[in-house]
Amino acid sequence: KENARLLISMSYPFPLRCLKDIKGFGLPQNILSYSWPVERNIKEAFYEISMQAFSIFSRHSPISIWKEEFLAQIKSGLSEQKEHLKRCLEEEKKQSKNMQVIQQSKLALRRYFQRIENYLKDKKYSYCAWKIVAVEIKRCFSYFLKFTELLRENQVSF
């Protein structure tokens, strides 16, 4: 949630002149379908998202767009999130036998973030491209937050 708030502040306000660079990246929403095991699937997906986002902000640091302190906060948050999920997944990995669904979800997410990275490259890491990417990553985080709330309220059957 904290990372989402940081991403919101990165993308807001959105400049009008960047509307022409808007692109659809095709977030894979089907990976959050209510299939068994849902809880592990969500964690795997969330881990993949955190790792990919951290990679984008680390390899192509948009220092000129956002302040260094701000970038440090988001990278720190994503790293912590990634490590937490990694530990959880390693424990469950030992117990789970069905990994096919999980691999498909991870593959879809990797393709999704690849498209984002390609967009940045194509736009040459422009100001508007970074703005659009920040908005998209934030959208991805928000999407997953909803399902974690549902998971917390036990609305998803396991």
Partner 1 sequence: MMLSSHRAWAIRLLTLCLVVYVSLALDSPRISPDDPGEHCNFKVTFRKYRLILLWELKNHSIVPTHYAFEYTIMSKPEGMKIVKNCTNITSSFCDLTDVWQDMHEMYIPLVKAYRGTALLVQCAGSIMTTNLAIEPPDFEVVGSADHISVTVSFPSLAPMVYKEDLRDHASLVIEEHLENNVKRHEPPINGSFIGNFSYVLNDLIPNTNYCVSVYFESIRFTPTVKAPLKCILYQPGQESGTSESLKIALLTIFFIVAVAISIVYALRQSGYVSLHTNFPKALIFKNFVPWTVPDLPLLEDVNTVEVCYINRKKKVWDYNYDDESDSENEASPRTSEGGYTMHGLTSRLLSQIPTSSATSQASHPEDSADEESEEPEEETQPQPQPWLPAALGPSPGQRECTSESCERTGGLPQDLSFGDNDSNSTEGSGGKITFNVNLSSVFLRVLHDDPEDSEEASLVLTPPEETVNLEESSQETESSLLVAGGEKLQVLFPSLPPKCLWTGDDLSDESDTGSSDVDDVRDGYIMR
The 1-30 contact track toward partner 1, x by CB under 8 A, reads x--xx--x--xxxxxxx-x--xxx--x---
3-state secondary structure of 126: coil
Long-range (24+ apart) CB contacts under 8 A made by 55-59 are 55/113, 56/113, 56/116, 56/117, 56/120, 56/133, 56/137
Stretch that binds partner 1, among 44-52, 75-83, 100-108, 120-128 (CB under 8 A): 120-128
CB of 98 to partner 1, least distance (A): 28
Stretch that binds partner 1, among 32-40, 51-59, 75-83, 131-139 (CB under 8 A): 131-139
22 alpha carbon, distance to own chain's centre? 18
CB of 6 to partner 1, least distance (A): 12
**Contact yes or no for 28/112 (Cβ under 8 A):** yes
DSSP state of 14: P
User: Which residues contribute to the site for partner 1 (CB under 8 A)?
Assistant: 1, 4-5, 8, 11-17, 19, 22-24, 27, 62, 64-65, 124-127, 130, 132, 135-136, 138-139, 142-143, 145-146, 149
